[in-house]
Structure 1
Amino acid sequence: MFILAYDVGTSGVKTCLYKSGDDLELVASELGAYGLTILPDGGAEQDPEEWWSAMVSTTHHLAATHPAEMSAVEGISFCSQMQALVLVDALGRHLRPAMSYMDQRAVEEKRRGLESGFKIAGMNARKLLASLYRTSAVSASVKDPMWKYLWVRDHEPQVFKKVRWWVDVKEYLIGRMTGHHVMSIDSAFATLLLDVRAKKPAWAEKLARTFGVNPAHLPPIVVSSAAVGTLRPEIASELGLPSLAVVYAGGGDASLIGVGAGACDVSDTHVYWGTSGWVSTVTDHRAVDISSMIATVDGADPGKYNYFAELETAGKCFEWVRRHLAEDEIDVYLSHDNKADDTESEYESLYEYLSEIVSKAAAGAGGVIFTPWLHGNRCPFEDANARAMFFNISLETGKTELLRAVIEGVCFHLRWFLETQEKKVETAETIRFVGGGALSPVTSQILADVLGRRVETVADPQNVGSVGAALVALVGAGKVSDLPTAARQLVKVSGTYEPNPATREVYDRQYEVFKTMYKQNRKAFGALNAANEGNN
């Protein structure tokens, strides 16, 4: 069986063609890029037409290089970014740019909707308790999609009156492909309006109305392995795919990356390091930590949940430091010597070169600490005004130390997640590490050292989302019955990193300081950025 899996991320789509048999073979893949627009009012938007164009072009490239295999595609599945807001009309056409999970404009909507009256933990007591009872979570972040929905209602009424469906990223694409509008159960939970007490997947309609959401805008809920439909004839023609190819609901990155990482059994823990980052632990029950902004997200495997703590900018931090500290107009200067001349001959990429440079700095980066809050922070504290910092720079500090401090700072924050999760659930002693960050043995070792736990990487860490999507399609097609067993069998460990005891003292000391950085600077962040609250 040939499966086409679309991994729709923040910066691009990776289209992967798989062949299933005794194993899951990646036949070929193509990457298509698109933009993310950051607006001065705190908006973060993407054009759904760019998602579609990237999908079409990557599909055509695969068809040109593998025509026989592409003409035999039987299943199409998705893994995608989550908690975006895509509003479509009755014909499935998007009515405005998609509001990304990073969008933080809806400060006033959240204030009016949740922060009035008698409060518990700063939130309206009645709504808080009703949300926790009915959904096992609460829309406590300004970036949650419900507030974006209400922002459009309040600021763009002419657009809002045309809305037929509120969907997420992959659901928009599935609707365009099949003409059927649905939400997979994990996407539905991510709206924080899923009725977890219902006997079958359903919306918490009364709660939705309490917040001002029209339940008629919420589409039918399906499991991740559900067959939504086949391709519409005109779409099959546009993509160059068989019209009888079945489109499966797939899942969001928060649920499928763990599957593709081979970490989808109870108490399995994985770390993802892409544009964003997270720590996710599988549980067999729902859990929530309101004060730390952590909740369980419904998984692709029914009856399992992902206790999920997210960092807005992980790989984005290294991209930022690469751009501003390495890609100088006068070439790459990272020490007193110009290394740019021999970079091409010795290293396959600038990223590989920078990883090697980082390895030459001592653990602890000479005492420099970096806080990875380039776009605010959500967990274990939420503050849209929080910002990244380099702390404790001295005359001896160079770019090498700054680069290492960025990697260590992201790892410190991931350790904070892990320790916060352990207050509610049991985490794994061996951590599965995936995403672009896992391509670097240097980063993998630093993560093991900072966490003080064994870290395992897989053979293709950047494609774990599409692997998860393909496995879900195999379940839907009846080719696989047990998703965790299939994931363990098909996902192979390629690298193992044991924590270095020699680094423990310095990392423990700096980690304790790292955890104080937000509290010590919270008022300063507010003073500098509060005038733009919701505008940054």
Structure 2
Amino acid sequence: MSIYVIAYDVGTTGIKTCLFELSEKITLIGSSMAGYDLFIMDNGGVEQDPEQWWKAMCLTTSQVMEKTKVPKESIAGISFCAQMQALVLVDSAGMPVRRAMSYMDNRADEEMRKGIMTGPRISGLNAYKLFRSARISGAASASVKDPVWKYKWVERHEPEVFSRVYKWLDVKDFLVCRASGTFVMSRDSAFATLLCDTRKGNVRFSPELCKMFGVRMEHLPEICKSTDQVGTILPSAAGELGLMSGTPVFSGGGDASLIGVGAGAVSEGDTHIYMGTSGWVSTVVKKQKLDIRNMIGSIVGADPEHFNFFAELETAGKCLEWVKDHLALDEIGLFLEKRGIWDDPESIHESLYDYMMHCISDVPAGSGGVIFTPWLHGNRCPFENPNARGMFFNISLETGKTELIHSVIEGVCYHLRWQLEAVEKSFRTNPRIRLVGGGALAPITCQILADMLGREIETVENPQNIGAVGAAIAIAVGLGMISDIKDAKKIIPALRSFQPSAENRFAYDRGFPVFQSLYRNNRKAFSSLNQKKAADL
């Protein structure tokens, strides 16, 4: 028996809507994508308009249904995989009271300082609050980008807006609400607030943590599982989406949990690396651990029996987007005119990056000595510093654009190596690592990562859609087609593998300590040049 489901991959800059056929395997039938704005402000604020998310969801759903000709009556359910740790404040009708504050938002410097950086401290954080947070939630609000500080920022700076708040939601929970009228958060979204009691048998929002950080319990929604059906599509929403009223709506999960599921990395020790707009290294573990020194924690995933030991890089593929826009477009503009592909945004996107990868294919490991740091919007792990920035180091007269572009990929991979080594101080990882996200589409990126890590790198089919695959698996579990999340491993095999080159590894072993030193040696300069923006709140 096979069924059709729709899974939404809600990213930082756009949504991709995928229609899958579920049987003994997962088959992508059709997809569509649409973008939306990311508003970046001088004071460190980064916002998005939730109405743009919804309109993009409706547009792409209608397009997919039209392209595939699958009857809307055949859709067995919809689910979501989305960016996490945004702050979406809504009223009692489920409508946003202000624009959403993105996970990238770092303006709440003063709120964090007052909330957790006073009194006796460990690693710069209030010792008592750090201990209680770690004890109850398994983590702590140790980053200025954590949602509780955004919440406190709105309370302090926008009291009239704050007075209209009914619930605090995350990105996909807002879309669930908009489609079904249900105010819920999946367990992983609830954990991402860092206000959730994650101790076994006691999963709920913690009254103690909410009181300690000044969060109103009534603002927090009911907690559900990623695989739960939480409602059905409302008649009003069905009309906008072009789907049947009454179609089951499943909660789904955040990208940090469901991308690993879609990668097939679901057993203890399984490790996947994600290269999308952001990036991360994530390993499946059985227990929670908080490594405050390296800013790594065991986050709640879609499988209630496991956690994901998760190290995040703020800007990964975003660095290549920056390169495309600011270094390569003079050449690529000519390429686009010859190809005539302006009418298809996804084809433009893929062709641009294919062409860039082709142009740098002959650049040797080490990029002629040039090293790039991928901290274009600060960094979280293995150091937390919103003031850190990117740089090209060691440019010479012989350096050209191809070396610069090649060094950007290497810079992202250098940082992922730093994170993997930090992860392995706490947990053993499997020797094979799965790479997913748009970065996995380029063989050159896969090979550089294999060489950088000295590990075998595996990719899977449609790695750029892997979050949607994870959301589809959540539906399959919810409908009883498969027994639990761990069964994903059986139906998501590796498509290709890349073996490390010892010669290239030697070049990267030489460059790696230099890469690490660039943060330590420039930390004061980053603060001197960039601190003012955070101070001008």
Q: Same fold (TM over 0.5)?
A: yes
The 1:283/1:234 distance shift into structure 2, 3 A limit, reads same
For residues 371-396 of structure 1, give each alpha carbon's deviation from its aligned partner in whole angstroms, at most 9, with x where no partner exists: 00000111100111110010011111
Residue equivalent to 1:518 = 519
* Aligned residues of 1:4 and 1:15 also touching (Cα < 8 A): yes
Distance 2:72 2:491 in 1: 22
**Paired residues of 1:363 and 1:503 also in contact (CA < 8 A):** yes
Give the CA deviation at 1:61. 0.9
What is the CA distance between 1:232 and its match in structure 2? Answer: 1.2
Pairwise CA distance, 1:72: 1.1
Which residue of structure 1 aligns with residue 89 of structure 2?
87
Alignment of 1:67-86 (within 5 A): 67-86=69-88
Task: Report 1:26-425 matches (<5 A).
Answer: 26-197=28-199, 199-328=201-330, 331-332=331-332, 349-425=351-427
Inter-partner Cα distance in structure 2 for 1:110 and 1:381? 17
Matched to 1:182, the amino acid is V
Query: Residue by residue, what CA displacement relative to the aligned partner does 1:63-95 show, whole Å, maximum 9, x if unpaired?
Result: 222343433111111000000000001111110
Residues 13 and 31, structure 1, Cα contact 8 Å, conserved in 2? yes
Structure 1 stretches of 4+ with a deviation exceeding 4 A read 338-345
Q: Equivalent residue for 1:448?
A: 450
Q: Any gaps of 5 or more consecutive residues in structure 2?
A: 342-347
Go from structure 1 to structure 2 and tell me whether the alpha carbon gap of 1:534 and 1:454 turns closer, same or farther (over 3 Å shift): farther
In structure 2, relative to structure 1, the CA distance for the partners of 1:155 and 1:198 (3 Å cut) is: farther
| Cα offsets for 1:381-435 (capped at 9, x unmatched) | 0111110010011111111111111000000000001000001111121110000
Contact 1:48 1:97 in 2 (8 A): yes
Q: Which residue of 2 aligns with 1:475?
A: 477
Q: Which amino acid aligns with 2:512?
A: Y
Alpha-carbon distance in structure 1 between the residues aligned to 2:531 and 2:353: 35
5+ long unaligned stretches in structure 1: none
Alpha-carbon offset, residue 522 of structure 1: 0.4
**Compared CA separation, residues 344 and 441, structure 1 to 2 (3 A):** farther
Q: 1:162 to 1:198 in 2, by over 3 A?
A: farther
Secondary structure at the aligned position of 2:53 is classed as helix
Matched position secondary structure for 2:524: helix
Letter matched to residue 258 of structure 1: G
Normalising by structure 2, what TM-score? Answer: 0.96
TM norm structure 1: 0.96
User: What is the CA RMSD across the aligned residues, in angstroms?
Assistant: 1.7
> What is the alpha-carbon distance in structure 1 between the residues aligned to residue 512 and residue 336 of structure 2?
33
Is the CA contact (8 Å cut-off) linking 1:452 and 1:504 kept in structure 2? Answer: yes
CA distance in 2, matches of 1:22, 1:507: 42
- C-alpha deviations, 1:176-208, integer Å up to 9, x for none? 111110100000000001102262421111111
Across the two proteins, how many residue pairs are aligned to each other? 528
Distance in structure 1 (CA, Å) of the matches to 2:80 and 2:135: 31
Whether the 8 Å CA contact 2:94–2:177 is kept in 1: the answer is yes
Q: What amino acid is the match of 2:446?
A: S
Letter matched to residue 61 of structure 2:
T
Q: The residue matched to 1:241 in structure 2 has which SS?
A: coil
The answer to whether the 8 A contact 1:343-1:350 is kept is no
Q: Distance in 2 between matches of 1:438 and 1:70?
A: 32
Structure 1's 53 and 417: CA in aligned 2 closer, same or farther, altered over 3 A? Answer: same
CA–CA separation in structure 1 for the residues paired with 2:148 and 2:81: 22
- Partner SS state of residue 191, structure 2: helix
Distance 1:433 1:386 in 2: 26
Letter in 2 for 1:284: K
1:429 to 428, 431, 434: 431
Matched-pair contact (CA < 8 Å) for 2:377–2:386: yes
User: 1:105, 1:535 within 8 Å by CA — same for their partners in 2?
Assistant: no
SS, match of residue 201 in structure 2: coil
Per-residue CA deviations over 1:84-134 (Å, capped at 9, x if unaligned) read: 000001111110000000000100000000111111111111111111111
Determine if contact 1:231/1:244 at 8 Å carries over to the other structure: yes
The separation in 2 between residues aligned to 1:198 and 1:150, in whole angstroms, is: 29
